[in-house]
Amino acid sequence: MLRNTVDSYGSLTKTLHWLIAILIIAMLALGFLLESIPEHLRGFWVGLHKSVGLTLLLLMFIRLIWRFLNIQPLLPITVPAWEQLAARSVHVFLYLVLFAMPVTGLAMSSYGGHPVFFWGWFNAALPVAENKNLASTFFDAHSIIAWVIIALIVLHVAAALKHHFIEKNNVLRKMLPGYKPPKLFRE
């Protein structure tokens, strides 16, 4: 099933969720390791980081559009209102920072006078004048956003694990590949 239902996420939502999750974790790890990569190898890894970052930006646009075109599975009725609000808030903040991260990276490179080759096809750098002060400001923002993303991921994963292991409901299972919601009525 491609589309979401009230009982489960559809295959496209699950694919986007897990693909974006894996890419974000890889990007965070690479971002923290970039400074320790020898100078003669760093160009390749920086270029890869930029291309994956722009790919993530495109995937996030697709994910956001798909989210608005689909219903969202319902949370179990046992989930208190404050927890539902917390879940929505974490999701909104995750979306915001996952858009802000590649945008600040793009701005940092553009104002730094560095090209942003998208998989070697074209230079996606913004047409702005070089400005080292703005590049530094966007670098700082990019770094802070990385830590915010890590904190939000920890909250997101902790909540999913709480639902699965403590509350023993299907909140996490709805996002796992192959999950089929139980049929409540005979056909």
Asked if 157 contacts 171 with a C-beta cutoff of 8 angstroms, the reply is: no
pLDDT classification of 180: cutoffs 50, 70, 90: confident
Q: Please give the CATH superfamily to which domain 11-175 belongs.
A: Transmembrane di-heme cytochromes, Chain C (1.20.950.20)
pLDDT(11) > 70: yes
pLDDT(166) > 60: yes
> Which residues make beta-bridge pairs with 126?
none
The single residue listed with the structure tokens 């996490």 is 172
* Structural domain spans, the chain: 11-175
d(C-alpha 88, C-alpha 142), whole Å: 24
**DSSP string computed for 146-166:** HHHHHHHHHHHHHHHHIIIII
Give the pLDDT confidence of 92-139 residue by residue, as tens digits: 999 999 999 999 999 999 999 999 999 999 999 999 999 999 999 999
Give the pLDDT confidence of 19-78 residue by residue, as tens digits: 999 999 999 999 999 999 999 999 999 999 999 999 999 999 999 999 999 999 999 999
**CB-based burial of residue 169 (10 Å sphere; 0-12 exposed, 13-18 middle, 19+ buried)?**
middle
**The pTM of the whole model exceeds 0.95:** no
d(C-alpha 165, C-alpha 155), whole Å: 15
Determine the pLDDT at residue 184: 64
